[in-house]
Amino acid sequence: MSSGLFDYIQKQQAEKCPTPSEPQKCPVETRRLTPYEITQEEQKNALEAARAVYKSYQENILKAGTLQSEILKGLHQGENTAILLLKALEAISCMTGETVTYQVAKNTLMTVYGEVMRQLDSLEVARAEVQKRLECLENVLKGADGTEQERILQAIEAHKRKLEQLSE
């Protein structure tokens, strides 16, 4: 009788784990986290998320303060009113965390007041934006290859034509 029990145990072990000459393929159970460990992990993740939010909040406060200083300096130096308006809108977007209004206002200022109404302040802002994008494209062109170069060259030509239109 004992030999039957012994054979049964060996058979069960052979099914679970192969013999030492074969590669080991024993089923490995993953360790489950205890409720305490889960709570610790959740707290750690929440703390990291809070740190990221706090960091961006601090950066926005710093940027808004810098923009306020630039606005005051610009007022004393007689800086372009369109640029001052954009800086004020950017400071507001930093303080509120909402950036869509700033982008819409910037695009509207450049399009309506610059290209359509041809106001010099707004035209200057539009020219600066196109010039900045043109410089970025020229920098990217240096590292591009093949079809990328063709597309970038087309974009550069389009930006140059846009600059000519804004300069007229």
Instruction: Give the 3-state secondary structure of the chain.
Output: CHHHHHHHHHHHHHHHCCCCCCCCCCCCCCCCCCHHHHHHHHHHHHHHHHHHHHHHHHHHHHHHHHHHHHHHHHHHHCCCHHHHHHHHHHHHHHHHCCCHHHHHHHHHHHHHHHHHCCCHHHHHHHHHHHHHHHHHHHHHHHHCCCHHHHHHHHHHHHHHHHHHHHHC
| Amino acid 1: pLDDT | 46
pLDDT at 41 (0 to 100)? 80
> Which residues of the chain register pLDDT less than 50?
1-2
